[in-house]
Structure 1
Amino acid sequence: MAFNHGVTTSERATSVLSTASVSAGIPIVFGTAPVNQTGLTKAPVNTPVLVNSYAEAVNAFGYSDDWKSYSLCEFINAYFQLNGLKPAILVNVLDPSVHKTVVAAASKNVVDKAVTILDSSVIHDDTLTVKSSDAATSYAKGTDYTVAFDSDGNTVISIKPGGAIPSGVSALSVAYTKLNPSVIDADDIIGGMDVGTGLVTGLELVNQVFPRYGLVPGLILAPGYSHNPTVAAVMVAKAGNINSTFTAFALTDMPTDTLKRYTDVPAWKNINGYTSALQVPLWPKASKGGKQYHMSTHIACAIGVADAANDGVPVASPSNKSLVIDAAVLADGTEVFLGPDQANFLNSQGIMTVLNFVGGFKAWGNYTGAYPASTDPKDVFMSIRRMFIWAKNSIILTYWSQVDNPATPRLIETITDSINIWLNGLTASGYLLGGRVEFNAADNPITDLMAGKFNFQIYITPPGPAQELAFKFEYDAAYLETLFG
């Protein structure tokens, strides 16, 4: 031991651990995008990309108003532009090297020394060729003309001064290759892993988010595809087992082309298995300014707004929260007008919908798909289910660092004290009605302790939604006495 003469001091690690921050509502969204327009070095294909703004999303994935072909653009518009939210993780499954169509050479009119192709899918590669209108003369890119996208994603071929293209030419022959999003189907969204190459695609990429970004996905979406029961089932499976550690929540749409009457929706939900506590079945679609959105897109936005108002804690249900829409619609554009009776019927079957009753269009419904088969509050109320998910993910991130430390009374004390302080803080803030952690002998038999397994019991009670406010009125004749002063 070193010799000391005088007073010495030292420090040891704080016994109470600060809880890790987990954002419960970060969405990971699977779909298609016009990645031929990407500003990145390489088009993002089956790669989770974290974006924090509309500009970042458009730079990475391009943009088109053809949302039927490019489903991610619907989400980009609603999430970043209409609701001003961030961040999101987007996954495009459309591969320009595979999902493409060759467009044969055709004569295009030259207007103001440029040819404009009104198509956001044109791929700007070597397959884009420009020749004279009779196809006798070929022209060189960069020397005779330039190619660029305009603000609408259209391809503009501009004639360069001093090049070989004659001044005053009225037409040019243009051939190119373009994206073919129509070939993308449920299998592409579901994805998998190529045994030979190890390449991971589709929903399997949920497991790459935390290793890439240190973020836990909170919501899983696939607007335009989640009405497919197989896609929805895989979404729920992935939500329940991220990296064999974390949990998320799936927002699953239901068809609006075959399901046109609200009374038919519950039977479809049950037959097709939209009944998990980790999902919310959604019907119908939404519309804003004539543009159709899938409900999952706008419910993700409502969840994001509600979470942001509570410091990222998912204590509030998105139900009865405003949606930035002006109609509820079917796939063919027919408007759906639900009153409280019809909307509540859907709610009673574990289906969230849209209600335009007081204060404009609102999300309406608190239940997960598990209702009414289950009545356990932690499984049937969306906000309570998400609070449990958020609390579990927070505990995992916070106490992962304690794994493999010496199992001493100090370790147990550090963990229990830290969790109780955290739960007390959540209770004081109104995010919990109460909570505690216990380390009990009855839960920890000697055989478990010898095997290095330590069991902590956590009790939490998140506040449920005030779903029904009942006011009883009575005529009180005693107030007639006021007539006599």
Structure 2
Amino acid sequence: MMYKHGIDIVEQRTGPEPIRSLSAVQVVFGTAQVNLLDDPAAAVNKPIVINSEADAKTKLGYSRDNRDFDFTVNHSLFASLELYNVAPIVVINVLDPAVHKTDVTDEVVSISKGTAKIANKKVLLSSVVAENADGLTTYERDVDYTLSFNTAGEPVIGVISGGQLDGQTEVTVSYSALDPSAVTEVDVIGGYDAATGVRTGIELMTSVYPQYNILGAQLLAPGFSHKPDVAAVLAAKSQKINGNFSAMNVLDVDTTAVTKYEDVAAWKVDNGYDNKESIVAWPMVKKNGQVLYFSAVLAARIAQTDAENDDVPNVSPSNKPFNIDATVLKSGTEMYLDQPEANVLNGAGIVTAINFNGWRTWGNNTAAFPESTLPQDRFIAVRRVFQWWGNTFILAYFNKVDNPADTKLIESVVSAENIRANGFAAEGKISGAVIEFRESMNPIENILNGKIVFIQRIGAYSPAEQITNILEFDPTITATALGGA
């Protein structure tokens, strides 16, 4: 490490603090740009909480100066931190630098003015070996040369005066570079090793709340959720998280397999994307020339919608301004749907986007529609209210578990919960909610065995999905106007 003596000045980009959205926290599974970290292996298969761009840079290697969208996690970090400025985000990187890499040997790099740049930005610095042309001399790092990433994410060799590399015009390097394309759905799905007690991939969802007391509300794997096996596991892991909580999962349709809007519904059915906890989106989107997974941008937009609504998820994610430039296929081919075409997707339980007085999200239905038409199953906003209410009920009254099962406990829950419901109803967040303790549901033997049951009825507003204005011609209005003239 370079010896430092004196004063350092470091400039850091400033901007507004991300807005907090705790009712829509994203848990993102995928591949991160960890080669930019001092210890890439330390960021593999563990939940990492990101609260800002500075966090993303120090914990995952992400920054707007050198983001590489070959890494799927960057789609969500870009959408959340740059497009919508929302946090926190929980990221689980499954790319292992010891496994998902390619080896490059004998690459000749020119030296100019004492520096040489390696073109590959995915280099693992610890793997770099620098030699002369015939391979007989191996140069020593921090003796003959320095090695670091510049602000653009380029690996730069700096020649040290007086070292063996001093005066040379080129250097031969061999190294390993991250290969995000080597990560498969098996890596993303992960699992639990009973022998070691180690969890990987989506199985790590169970570690998020115990580790951070952060409740994941949206599970997504941009770049992988269009694969049915991954989608199925995300849907399964969205329910009974830690035995208690529930969440939505935001999924993509495969835009290489489905290139026309007319074919999306059949693909959705054939591949089992039909869970009431799932939000399914098609196609992909483009921003600033970059093709992004729809799920990443939609989840960030949902988080912003909640944050602007006192962290209550009763507002539908549909018909909200969408910070994109186009909807596209994976190939980059632009797709422009008019409203009737987008409605075909909505009718199949798929969210899309339309350019109607500016780009906006379009679609209220979960993946359960049209098979299920129950409001709490089909409407995303109503589904999320039910999830949120159940999750917050658990958090609010968990401290009462193991208290004496007496009338004081029962009355305190009923009173507090009805007060809470009345408050949200007064704000228009719900239409109302009532909780009851019924003797018929609580026989004395159950109470003696420590079991208490409440029943709660919740009224959540469905989105005003269709508004009709009937226009009639009234000749008397015209006649009156003419007569008055």
The TM-score by the shorter chain falls in which range?
over 0.9
2:141 matched to which residue of 1?
141
2:160 matched to which residue of 1?
160
Q: Tell me by how many angstroms 1:276 deviates.
A: 0.6
1:330 matched to which residue of 2?
329
Which runs of 5 or more residues in structure 1 are unaligned?
Answer: 1-20
Matched, 1:259 2:273: no
Q: Secondary structure at the match of 1:49?
A: strand
Q: Secondary structure at the match of 1:481?
A: helix
CA–CA distance in structure 2, aligned partners of residues 102 and 330 of structure 1 = 31
1:305 matched to which residue of 2?
304
2:213 matched to which residue of 1?
214
Deviation by residue 1:303-342 (Cα, 9 ceiling, x = unmatched): 0111011111001111111111100001111111101110
Could you tell me which of 51, 66, 69 is aligned with 1:67? 69
2:17 matched to which residue of 1?
none
Q: Tell me by how many angstroms 1:198 deviates.
A: 1.5
CA pair 202-98 structure 1, distance change in 2 beyond 3 A: same
Q: Tell me by how many angstroms 1:102 deviates.
A: 2.1
CA–CA distance in structure 1, aligned partners of residues 38 and 163 of structure 2 = 27
8 Å CA contact retained: 2:29, 2:94: yes
1:360 aligned partner, one-letter code: G
8 Å CA contact retained: 2:21, 2:304: no
Matched, 1:95 2:93: no
CA pair 138-449 structure 1, distance change in 2 beyond 3 A: same
Q: Secondary structure at the match of 2:162?
A: coil
Mapping 1:260-279, distance limit 5 Å? 260-279=259-278
CA–CA distance in structure 1, aligned partners of residues 186 and 449 of structure 2 = 43
Q: Percent identity?
A: 39
CA pair 379-195 structure 1, distance change in 2 beyond 3 A: same
2:9 matched to which residue of 1?
none
2:187 matched to which residue of 1?
188
CA–CA distance in structure 1, aligned partners of residues 282 and 303 of structure 2 = 19
CA–CA distance in structure 2, aligned partners of residues 105 and 40 of structure 1 = 25
Mapping 1:70-469, distance limit 5 Å? 70-125=71-126, 127-167=127-167, 169-357=168-356, 359-469=357-467
8 Å CA contact retained: 2:34, 2:40: no
Q: Secondary structure at the match of 2:87?
A: coil
Q: Secondary structure at the match of 1:277?
A: coil
Q: Cα RMSD (Å) of the superposition?
A: 1.5
2:394 aligned partner, one-letter code: I
Q: Tell me by how many angstroms 1:22 deviates.
A: 8.9
CA–CA distance in structure 2, aligned partners of residues 483 and 266 of structure 1 = 54
Matched, 1:24 2:26: no
CA–CA distance in structure 1, aligned partners of residues 37 and 236 of structure 2 = 31
8 Å CA contact retained: 2:144, 2:166: no
Deviation by residue 1:184-236 (Cα, 9 ceiling, x = unmatched): 10000000012221211000000101011101100001000000011000000
8 Å CA contact retained: 1:416, 1:438: yes
1:12 matched to which residue of 2?
none
CA–CA distance in structure 2, aligned partners of residues 446 and 229 of structure 1 = 47
1:151 aligned partner, one-letter code: T
CA–CA distance in structure 2, aligned partners of residues 329 and 372 of structure 1 = 25
Which runs of 5 or more residues in structure 2 are unaligned?
Answer: 1-19
Q: Tell me by how many angstroms 1:41 deviates.
A: 8.2
Q: Secondary structure at the match of 1:371?
A: coil
CA–CA distance in structure 2, aligned partners of residues 86 and 468 of structure 1 = 33
Q: Tell me by how many angstroms 1:384 deviates.
A: 0.5
CA–CA distance in structure 2, aligned partners of residues 117 and 466 of structure 1 = 56
Q: Secondary structure at the match of 2:268?
A: helix
8 Å CA contact retained: 2:353, 2:361: yes
CA–CA distance in structure 1, aligned partners of residues 328 and 380 of structure 2 = 24
8 Å CA contact retained: 2:21, 2:87: no
